[in-house]
C-alpha cells in the first residue's frame, strides 16, 4: 500500500495531460473498465436466468468498504476515486448514471 501511496501522491491528472503518459495505476483502471464493458456486461446480459433478460446490463455499482481506513489512507483513496471518476466520465460515459 505504501508504494501505491507514494506513486499516487506524485502523479496528478494535470501532470499526465502535460506529459502524454499514463501511469501504471491508471492503466489498471483502464483495464478494469475495459474488462467490465467488453466482457462482464455482455456476459451478464447473455444470462437468461435473471429478472428481465431482455434488458441488457449497461451499468454497474461499485461499493468501497472504508472501515479500518485511517485519515491518510482515506485521503489517498479520495484521490484514487477522483481519478477513476475522471477516467469514467471521459472514456466510459455510457456506463455512468450517478456518482455518489
User: How far does Cα 29 stand from its chain's mean position?
Assistant: 5
The pLDDT assigned to 18 comes to: 53
Contact 100, 63 (CB under 8 A): no
Integer angstrom CA distances of residue 57 from 37, 41, 46, 48: 10, 6, 9, 12
| Amino acid 14: pLDDT | 55
Give tens-digit pLDDT for 53-94. 999 998 888 787 888 888 888 887 887 788 888 887 877 777
Amino acid at each position: 500500500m505504501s508504494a501505491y501511496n507514494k506513486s499516487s501522491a506524485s502523479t496528478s491528472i494535470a501532470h499526465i495531460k502535460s506529459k502524454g503518459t499514463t501511469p501504471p495505476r491508471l492503466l489498471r483502471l483502464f483495464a478494469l473498465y475495459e474488462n467490465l464493458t467488453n466482457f462482464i456486461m455482455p456476459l451478464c446480459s447473455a444470462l437468461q436466468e435473471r429478472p428481465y433478460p431482455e434488458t441488457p446490463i449497461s451499468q454497474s455499482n461499485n461499493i468501497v468498504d472504508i472501515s479500518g481506513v485511517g485519515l491518510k489512507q482515506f485521503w489517498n483513496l479520495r484521490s484514487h476515486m477522483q481519478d477513476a471518476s475522471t477516467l469514467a466520465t471521459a472514456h466510459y460515459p455510457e456506463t455512468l448514471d450517478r456518482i455518489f
